[in-house]
Amino acid sequence: MIPVCRQEDLPEGESVRVDTAPPIAVFRTDDGSLYAVDDTCTHQDASLSEGWLEGCLIECPLHAAAFDLRTGVPTCLPARHALRTHLVTVEEGVIHVHVTVREGTAA
Amino acid sequence: MRTVTIVGASLAGLYAARELRAQGYDGRLVVVGDEPHPPYDRPPLSKDFLTGRADEDRLALTDAEERAGLDAEWLLGVRARGLDTAARTVLLEDGRTLATDGLVIATGAKARPLPGAHTLRTLDDARALRARLTEGPQQVVVIGGGFIGAETAASCAALGHDVTVLEAAPLPLLPQLGPQMAAVCATLHRRAGVRFRTGTGVTGLRRTGPATAVDLADGHTLSADIVIAGIGAVPNTAWLAGSTLALGDGVLCDEGCVTASPQVVAVGDVARVGGVRAEHWTSATEQPRAAVTNLLAGRTLATPHPVPYFWSDQYGSRIQFAGRYRPGDTVRVTEGELLDEGPGDDGFLARYERDGTTVAVLAVDRPRPFTRARRELGRAVETATT
């Protein structure tokens, strides 16, 4: 379990990158939900925490590949492989990520 | 249509195959490619592949499972030699002929050659250059400061080689970025300790024992262990000579990628769409959708106007550009700042304005605001064309 930041430091529509190996991106969507996925686009070397967040979709800043944050599954080309998703919890006002060990599977 | 043939098995050709199936075409599909490799992605060749950070398995654009789903016949390592538009037949160099109802031309472009120099266009080019670059520190001269030249120079510098970049124009990337931002991007070379000479053409290469002498127009001569030419690309249209298709620095087509023959469309680097030939990854992935729609309809229904977009990774910086620059546009840095005529530590975002309207946007290491600005540009184009 990795502490990320305080709740109030991650506003809606924003993201934060956790420098784990591999790095993880944590997002707070417009409805306040928290999601965590691998930060590196499965298509090419780009950081999804720098991408475009729209609802539960994150769009890669380099080639506009899009992933569903709930499942990690790409919703369009050029990405064809799913991201690992990670459980997010809030404890005493601090956001934590529980890193998934197994490889992500396409739903 | 019972048979559709795609000539060209790279990015645009693969996307055309995907679009044909996605848009419901269920007839025979043949894909012809002159390289022996299944479709692979070229952008990493000058970047992570060259430095050894990525291997060939990272380049694949498709896998066996997808290819099975596309249900196409792949003729790889086979070059097309001609097109008989009247007989609707593609002629192959191995003597075979392919009768086809519809044709997608996706033959791309080839690196402009310079005898005595490496070029970097294909996987085989990159393999050969990568092998040379692992032979210990060497003197590398890169001719051409455009995207391929700059990225290759950056990769060579990262590998510890002594690099000189030569650019014949006063600055590289002038037509794409304009003088102000071309100068800003050019500072990346100097900051990385790469020698960078502009306004000097190369008059010739001479072998001098194990080294190569690079003769410059100003009378100087450089000695190089490895010479790399990144001096542009030439569209692969020679095989279409003698066909009825109009050619002129590419295959001429309308704004829907349709040639003078409604059964023939062209996509990617080889296509001159509505007068413009774009050599960008994004064009190769976007054009096939409209091209296939129009091919299946037998007439031009779709004429998209996407905002041109390209990116380049150099010396650890990511340059992203969207829109169209024209001489006379005003350029303003709206986020971040410039430092010593180059990008500041946190990068920057610059807007190109014409008559008070943003027409293009450039970012160095500012991906999020860039994406926002790129989307705004896209919406502006939609509004202007509907």
Structure pTM? 0.92
* Residue B221 · residue B127 · CB < 8 Å: no
pLDDT over threshold 60, residue A105: no
- For testing the chain A interface, which of B320, B346, B368, B377 should be mutated: the one with the most A CBs within 10 Å? B368
Ranges of each domain in chain A: 2-98
Q: What is the DSSP string of A33-74?
A: -EEEEESB-SSSS-BGGGSEEETTEEE-TTT--EEETTT--B
B263 confidence band (pLDDT: 50, 70, 90): very high
The pLDDT assigned to A104 comes to 46
What percent of chain B has pLDDT above 70? 99
First-to-last C-alpha distance (Å) of chain A:
24
> What mean pLDDT is predicted for residues A88-98?
96
The pLDDT assigned to B86 comes to 87
pLDDT over threshold 90, residue A64: no
Give the angle subtended at the CA of B141 by the CAs of B138 and B143, to the nearest 5°: 160
> What mean pLDDT is predicted for residues B4-30?
98
Reference A67, options A87, A93, A49; nearest CA is A49
Q: Is A61 on the interface with B (CB under 8 A)?
A: yes
- Residue-wise pLDDT for B83-101, tens only, equals 998 889 999 999 999 999 9
pLDDT over threshold 50, residue A57: yes
How far is it between the farthest Cα atoms of chain B?
63
Q: Do B43 and A44 touch (CB under 8 A)?
A: yes
Least confident of A19-23, B153-157, B220-224: A19-23
Question: Hey, how many other C-beta atoms are within 10 angstroms of the C-beta on B322?
Answer: 25
The pLDDT assigned to A103 comes to 55
A2-98 CATH choice from 2.102.10.10, 3.40.30.10, 2.40.10.120, 3.20.20.140: 2.102.10.10
> Helix (H, G, I), strand (E, B), or coil: what is residue B323?
strand
- B208 vs chain A: nearest CA distance in angstroms? 40
- A51 vs chain B: nearest CA distance in angstroms? 6
Reference B12, options B44, B39, B47, B49; nearest CA is B39
The pLDDT assigned to A43 comes to 82
- Residue-wise pLDDT for B308-330, tens only, equals 999 999 999 999 999 999 999 99
The pLDDT assigned to A106 comes to 42
- Alpha carbons within 13 angstroms on the beta-carbon side of residue B21 total 16
In angstroms, rounded to a whole number, what is the distance separating the alpha carbons of residues A23 and A37? Answer: 9
- Alpha carbons within 13 angstroms on the beta-carbon side of residue A82 total 15
